[in-house]
């Protein structure tokens, strides 16, 4: 009962925190709705970005994989995440921030269309690809929300009801406050979920397991292997790491976090902080999941970490359950918001301000309802384990890396035709090498096949096409880039 009460109190607090400030100070226009007027402090930006990144997969999907497979997942996800996603924000964040501030970018498509000189069709295509990358992620959050309500109520609340409750709460504050509401809610939620993540990990490691690593070696020795368990040999693990470590940085809901800081210093501070904290909690959460495997065998992997925390203390279990709910809500709000912007700004407006600010906001509100419904339905059509769904979300995010990295490093020979054909090749490759007889061919993860094929196709097509970035764009990028200025 205490778990359900905690969830209800938390959800009411979230809705009120998101709704009240925008009601007291209404939105000032599309800049306020889209990017909170680019005036977010570094610590709020950090908590918003980190809360957005930490999702149901953080508390349930990845711990579930570690519970089943072991340290191989740590080497394949958490360590590459430091040198992939977090490093990207740290290295390129200020460059992106400067360009966004000057040219009023509100979606990642704005940046790519600016650099490659893409017209309306190019912009629409890129937006559709971005939407494709986010749909599995939204699907994932429905399952996570449903599971925590189902668990808190001892099965009385079905998964479909729990997921629906969470989505209604998110729509309520997004409807009123847009991205400004996201920064308010996610700042509060960031504190809740990070403290729960740390407390839950430490409780399982030291409270249940006494911090005794020898216990793990004795009871679950295979989970301590770096590779070879559950099919995760070195080749598969290394290629798996490409998407699970680096794919998250290129998702549109994470990209927007580089547009919103109030200064270049704030951009550097939030990206540095997220780098350090992820390094520490990745180690703690990995150990906690393996301790859960040693001490609590036979539970559903997605619930292993939460079950371990609840064995230590019901109050801690309630805290962690709220933390999982916070992780889900703070991820899905940014994802729904991002897809709304991609459709309204990049597809309907095609990057130009055709709609009045009032019309723009109302169109995005309508899109919230539609996109949330699609993500909700997808989970029940394809109810895969959260870790598997997260893999598709990461892989589809990663396919945006070649054109983005090429742009940010001023590869003037890459053309928009190369980008388009390369992305089509990547989407096809993701399907071909993740299903059927060619799934993970030669023990190489499907995301690695997709990214290699995409890069080759993008390069070859670019050699034979002429619509290269303009000299003015190249010079502008170099002038604001910290990499080129050093």
The model's pLDDT over 322-363, given as tens digits with 9 standing for 90+, comes to 887 887 888 889 999 999 999 999 999 988 888 999 999 999
The model's pLDDT over 401-440, given as tens digits with 9 standing for 90+, comes to 999 999 999 999 999 999 999 999 999 999 999 988 999 9
The model's pLDDT over 226-272, given as tens digits with 9 standing for 90+, comes to 887 878 888 888 888 887 788 888 999 999 999 999 999 999 999 99
Q: According to CATH, what is the number of the domain 2-398?
A: 1.20.1730.10
pLDDT of residue 1: 65
pLDDT band (50, 70, 90) for residue 395: confident
On average, the pLDDT of the chain sits at 89
Determine if residue 442 is left, alpha or beta; phi over 0 gives left, psi from -120 to 50 gives alpha, anything else beta: left
Each as own residue / partner, the long-range contacts of residues 21-30 (CB below 8 Å, 24 or more positions apart, any chain) are 21/177, 21/180, 21/181, 21/184, 22/173, 22/176, 22/177, 22/178, 22/180, 22/181, 23/176, 27/177, 27/178, 27/180, 27/361, 29/357, 30/106, 30/353, 30/357, 30/360, 30/361
pLDDT band (50, 70, 90) for residue 390: low
Closest to 319 in 3D by CA, of 429, 202, 432, 239: 202
In three-state form (DSSP H/G/I as H, E/B as E, the rest C), the secondary structure along 451-481 is HHHHHHHHHHHHHCCCCCCCHHHHHHHHHHC
Answer yes or no: is pLDDT of 137 > 80: no
Answer yes or no: is pLDDT of 485 > 60: no
Residue 120 near residue 325 (C-beta atoms within 8 A): no
User: Between residues 64 and 146, which one has the greater pLDDT?
Assistant: 64
pLDDT of residue 483: 59
Cα separation, 36 vs 261, in Å, equals 9
The model's pLDDT over 179-194, given as tens digits with 9 standing for 90+, comes to 999 999 999 989 988 9
Q: What percent of the chain has pLDDT over 70?
A: 97
Cα separation, 79 vs 438, in Å, equals 28
Q: What percent of the chain has pLDDT over 90?
A: 55
Most confident of 33-37, 80-84, 350-354, 379-383: 33-37
What residue ranges do the domains of the chain occupy? 2-398, 401-480
pLDDT band (50, 70, 90) for residue 202: very high
pLDDT band (50, 70, 90) for residue 102: very high
Could you tell me which residues are beta bridge partners of residue 40?
261
pTM of the model: 0.89
Answer yes or no: is pLDDT of 134 > 90: no
């Amino acid at each position: 009962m205490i778990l359900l009460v905690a969830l209800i109190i938390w959800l009411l607090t979230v809705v009120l925190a998101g709704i009240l400030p925008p009601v007291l100070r209404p939105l000032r226009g599309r800049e306020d709705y889209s990017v909170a007027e680019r005036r977010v402090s570094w610590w709020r930006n950090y908590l918003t970005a980190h809360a957005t990144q930490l999702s149901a997969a953080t508390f349930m999907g990845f711990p579930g994989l570690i519970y089943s497979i072991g340290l191989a997942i740590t080497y394949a996800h958490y360590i590459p995440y430091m040198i992939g996603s977090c490093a990207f924000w740290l290295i390129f964040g200020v460059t992106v921030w400067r360009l966004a501030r000057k040219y009023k970018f509100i979606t990642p498509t704005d940046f790519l269309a600016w650099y490659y000189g893409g017209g309306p069709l190019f912009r629409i295509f890129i937006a559709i690809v971005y939407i494709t990358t986010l749909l599995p992620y939204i699907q994932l959050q429905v399952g996570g929300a449903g599971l925590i309500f189902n668990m808190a109520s001892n099965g009385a609340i079905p998964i479909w009801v729990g997921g629906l409750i969470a989505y209604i709460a998110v729509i309520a504050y997004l409807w009123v406050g847009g991205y400004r509401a996201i920064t308010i809610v996610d700042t509060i939620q960031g504190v809740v979920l990070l403290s729960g993540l740390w407390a839950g990990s430490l409780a399982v490691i030291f409270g249940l397991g006494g911090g005794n690593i020898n216990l793990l070696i004795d009871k679950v020795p295979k989970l301590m292997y770096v590779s070879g368990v559950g099919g995760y040999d070195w080749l598969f693990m290394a290629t798996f790491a490409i998407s699970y470590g680096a794919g998250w940085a290129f998702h549109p809901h994470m990209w927007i976090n580089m547009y919103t800081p109030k200064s270049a210093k704030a951009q550097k501070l939030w990206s540095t902080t997220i780098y350090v904290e992820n390094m520490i909690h990745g180690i703690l959460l990995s150990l906690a999941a393996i301790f859960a495997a040693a001490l609590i065998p036979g539970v559903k992997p997605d619930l292993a970490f939460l079950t371990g925390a609840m064995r230590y203390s019901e109050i801690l279990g309630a805290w962690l359950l709220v933390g999982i709910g916070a992780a889900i809500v703070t991820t899905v709000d940014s994802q729904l918001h991002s897809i709304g912007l991609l459709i309204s700004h990049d597809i309907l407006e095609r990057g130009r301000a055709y709609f009045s600010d009032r019309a723009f906001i109302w169109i995005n509100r309508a899109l919230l309802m539609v996109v949330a419904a699609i993500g909700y339905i997808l989970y029940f059509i394809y109810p895969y384990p959260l870790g598997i769904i997260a893999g598709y979300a990461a892989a589809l995010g990663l396919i945006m890396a070649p054109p983005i990295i090429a742009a940010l490093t001023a590869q003037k020979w890459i053309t928009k035709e190369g980008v388009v054909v390369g992305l089509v090749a990547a989407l096809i490759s993701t399907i071909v090498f993740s299903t059927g007889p060619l799934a993970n061919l030669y023990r190489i993860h499907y995301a690695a096949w997709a990214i290699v094929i995409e890069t080759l196709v993008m390069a070859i097509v670019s050699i034979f096409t002429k619509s290269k970035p303009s000299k003015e764009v190249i010079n502008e990028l170099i002038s604001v880039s910290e990499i080129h200025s050093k």
